[in-house]
Structure 1
Amino acid sequence: MTAERINPPELSPPTGFSHAVVATGSRLVFLAGQTALDADGKVVGESLPEQFEKALDNLLTALAAAGGTPSDLARVTVYATDIAAYRTHAPELGRIWRESAGRDYPAMAVVEVVRLWDDQAAVELDGFAVLP
């Protein structure tokens, strides 16, 4: 994929995301929402950062199985059950993202939701990627 990340100077400087991503490639990969489920289907991690790390790992595992890499991500949506906790942990979540996915940030949004499919889940990530 060729990805051009666009961050216009008229908008506030992005932190941990890109305002727009122009992606060119030949394959679209739509990634289902991933929570902190282990291979047995149980939510793991007590804290939001622990769950975020596992959910991101699950998302990147699905992407890799489709032949993609983190730099192929064009869009990711984060669904959090507690936006205040997400803001509190933002520096740690950013570190986890950078260690797992690098610094080529996709277009992103964080949305607060009442609950997720699994009652114990605090965060879910979905998105799409464009592969060469």
Structure 2
Amino acid sequence: MSDTPLERINPPQLSAPSGFSHAVVAATGTMVFLAGQTALDASGRIVGHGIVEQFERALANLLAAAAAAGAAPCDLAKLTVFAVDVDGYRAHAREIGRVWKRLVGGDYPAMSVIGAARLWDGAALVEIEGIAVVGRGRGV
């Protein structure tokens, strides 16, 4: 168990969550707002041909921004995923879940997936933004 100030809430009267938490309570800590990240490499080019590859790069970019602000993966409280092909995202949910487990672990934030007609970079298939809460004595 980490020293994150987050409590993940999944009430029994709601459907069992898979890959997200219904609610996340932050009792204390510093909020870190994470800008939307796509599959950009360091030179500013979108990399990855499919939704899974781009999700992995976008998530890695988000985690890098979080780490630079002092937040660990377990500090993620809320994520929004924007996908240009929600059906494709759902079709690859198991693969995306494996990427999540490898990069983040078993902690799930409150999370939404929203369909978007287009993202800022036309080659981007997915963009991820978030909020992290860093506990006292760590990070920011």
TM range, smaller chain = over 0.9
Which residue in 2 is equivalent to 1:85?
88
Match of 2:101 in 1: 98
Aligned-partner Cα distance in 2 for 1:47–1:21:
30
Residues 1:63 and 2:66 are matched in the alignment: yes
In percent, how many aligned pairs have the same letter? 59
SS in 2 for 1:52: helix
Which position in structure 2 is the counterpart of 1:45?
48
1:26 aligned to which of 9, 24, 29 = 29
Code of the residue aligned with 1:131 in structure 2: it is V
* Unmatched segments (≥5 aa) in structure 2: 136-140
Q: Which runs of 5+ in 1 are unaligned?
A: none
- The separation in 2 between residues aligned to 1:27 and 1:90, in whole angstroms, is 31
1:116 counterpart residue number: 119
- 1:26 and 1:46 map into 2 onto residues whose CA distance is 38
TM-score (norm 1): 0.98
Q: Cα distance, 1:26 vs. partner?
A: 2.6
Q: Output the CA distance in 2 between the equivalents of 1:35 and 1:42.
A: 10
Instruction: Assess if the C-alpha contact under 8 Å between 1:24 and 1:130 holds in 2.
Output: no
Q: What SS does the corresponding residue of 2:129 show, helix, strand or coil? A: strand
Cα-to-partner distance string for 1:78-129 (whole Å, 9 max, x where unaligned):
0000001001000000010011011110000000000000000000000100
Deviation at 1:2, TM superposition (A): 1.4
Superposition misfits of 4+ residues, deviation over 4 angstroms: none
CA RMSD of aligned residues (A): 0.6
Say which SS state the counterpart of residue 117 (structure 1) adopts: coil
8 Å CA contact 2:37–2:127 kept in 1: the answer is yes
Aligned-residue offset at 1:31: 0.1
Q: State whether structure 2 residue 10 is matched by structure 1 residue 3.
A: no
Q: TM-score, normalised by structure 2?
A: 0.93
In 2, Cα distance between the equivalents of 1:51 and 1:74? 22
